[in-house]
A and B are shown apart, each in its own frame.
Chain A
Amino acid sequence: MATIAAEQPAEHRRAAVVRTAAERVGMLVLVLAALWGLWEGYRWLWIHEGWTWPFTVDSTTMPHIHDILRQLFRKPTSGVGGDILLVQLLHAAWFTAKEAIVGFALGASFGFLLGVALSQFRLLQRGLLPYVVASQTVPILAVAPIVVVYLGSLHVAPWFSVAVIASYLTFFPVTINTLRGLQSTNRQALELMRSYAAGRLSVLWKLRIPAALPYIFSALKVSATASIVGAIIGEAPSSIQQGLGGFIVNFNQYYSLNPENLWATNLIAALLGIAFFLVIVLVEAIVVRRAPEHVA
């Protein structure tokens, strides 16, 4: 089947690509419409019936979606600056994205190296892995201020402290999946390497790591979005106002007056997360060469 697909003429394949792209766009529109319908339908039903469980529905708890969208193009009464909310939020998103990218790069590199080290040294794995797991049971909200204070005393820029906090959420899935991927190498592929008298490093570099890439990429997808959550959470104790975290804290205080502001911010934060995720998917498609049926 794979051979047949490879032998198809180029124009057939291009047509197929266009068709799948159209299908995806159609699907996206459909899903968005369905979500909109669910939100507005739920809202209408609860208000109409006067239901109060699990919470009372009104314009404060569930503003209209079109009100949220309209808010994006207004100048916020609460908050800062003279731009419309969308422009302010995009600036904030870019600021947070920079923290998240640095945090992601730090966390993913550290996580990968830690995973490789744990896979190569059994003793290290047994000794260290429980603490790696424990590190994630400590709430990030408890760790964040400590990191800010420590790094602040070293005269590190506050945004970098935020990046470090983001990396704290990033590294863990990468470590665990790298370790798992490196340990699930095909036995015969390893025997083959043994028959070529390959050294430990060659086995790692030419077999174990490439074979682990699908595992590593599924971790990177989780981590990419986690790094944004980390950056947003890290902005609060660092008193950083320019990022999405600052906007969230601010809009939170004025929620009862202007709930649309917070919802609009959430929307932008979610879009940022999706953008990060898609970048990883794109990189994976370029880097990982696999049979079509093996790509997650």
Chain B
Amino acid sequence: MSVVEIKDVAKRFDGGTVALEGIELAIEEREFVSLIGPSGCGKSTLLRIIGDLIRPTAGTVRVNGKPAAQARTDRDYGIIFQDAVLYDWRTIARNISLPLELARWNRRRRNERVQEMLRLVELTGFEGHYPWQLSGGMQQRVSIARALSFDPSLLLMDEPFGALDEMTRERLNLELLRIWEASGSTVVFVTHSIAEAVFLSTRVVVMSPRPGRISHVIPIDLPYPRTAAIREDPHFFELVTNVREALHLGSDLDRKPAAPAAAEAQP
């Protein structure tokens, strides 16, 4: 049984914009799938549909064999946004335990779990700090700990490292892989970065805009555990090139250059 099963999903927004059309995708257990594509290709929209944060106009989404709405109320997935979205008035420990409070865990279990999560994201000792006392990268690690705290089978990540600097981003990529392997969850990861998608994923789903469609699905056969050295592997470059070409094939700009660009080239 697939963890995520998307059948013929379409999303039309109120203004008439077709954000997604004819989306078919199955994600198996323990997969790490990246959704990549230019702005407006609907990758974030697709992620939100999987998480039942918005409803598709047509088609069905099943998570763990259940309708997406049921999976959401069963707390089957944890979500991570580009901003850490920590609650300013809660300490780090109480931010991580928020979903546990809502799931009615008792205090003792919550505290144990928070300590476990802090160890996982290597933030032990920061439980009493407030979010604004932490750097952006640390805040994002807290938000990962919060999403994993209730042990969801699926992790939905919407450009989680998009706002961070390159060095922090590469470090967190490694850390995310370690956490993914330790937690045994399935990940759907939205990103703008080709290298990031290739480095992390078991499969990269390339999307094209207007209307948002899946244009290519590229399996990444690099072995796990992946280390920073893989970024210099010739096969890594080959895969990056594959994804880049798939992206360009899928984009209108490269097939027929837009008029202003052509005019600019003339004189």
Give the residues in chain A near B134, CB-CB below 8 Å.
2-3
Give the residues in chain B near A292, CB-CB below 8 Å.
132
Binding site secondary structure of chain A: helix
The complex places the Cα of A5 from the Cα of B72 at a distance, in Å, of: 40
A210-249 near B? 1/0 per residue, CB < 8 Å: 1101000000000000000000000000000000000000
Assuming the A-B contacts A210-B89, A290-B88, are A3 and B72 also in contact, with contact meaning beta carbons closer than 8 angstroms in the complex?
Answer: no
B79 at the A interface (CB under 8 A): yes
Cβ of B89 and Cβ of A2 under 8 Å apart?
no
Give the residues in chain A near B150, CB-CB below 8 Å.
196
B236 at the A interface (CB under 8 A): no
A191 at the B interface (CB under 8 A): yes
Assuming the A-B contacts A3-B133, A3-B134, are A195 and B89 also in contact, with contact meaning beta carbons closer than 8 angstroms in the complex?
Answer: no
Cβ of A3 and Cβ of B135 under 8 Å apart?
yes
Instruction: Identify which of residues 276-296 in chain A touch chain B, using a CB-to-CB cut-off of 8 Å.
Output: 288-292, 294
B85 at the A interface (CB under 8 A): yes
Instruction: Identify which of residues 188-203 in chain A touch chain B, using a CB-to-CB cut-off of 8 Å.
Output: 188-189, 191-198, 202
A106 at the B interface (CB under 8 A): no
B51 at the A interface (CB under 8 A): yes
Give the residues in chain B near A135, CB-CB below 8 Å.
none
Cβ of B72 and Cβ of A194 under 8 Å apart?
yes
Question: Total interface residues on A, using CB and 8 Å?
Answer: 27
Give the residues in chain B near A194, CB-CB below 8 Å.
52-53, 72
Give the residues in chain A near B89, CB-CB below 8 Å.
210-211, 213, 288-290
Query: What residue in chain B is nearest A203 (Cβ atoms)?
Result: B102
**Other than the known A192-B81, A289-B89, what 5 A-B pairs have Cβ atoms closer than 8 Å?**
A188-B83, A188-B85, A192-B79, A196-B150, A197-B74
- A residues contacting B by CB (< 8 A) are 2-3, 5-6, 186, 188-189, 191-198, 202, 206-207, 210-211, 213, 288-292, 294
- Which 4 pairs, one residue from A and one from B, show the smallest C-beta to C-beta distance? A291-B132, A6-B133, A197-B73, A289-B89
- B residues contacting A by CB (< 8 A) are 48, 51-53, 72-75, 77-79, 81, 83, 85, 87-90, 98-99, 101-103, 129-135, 150
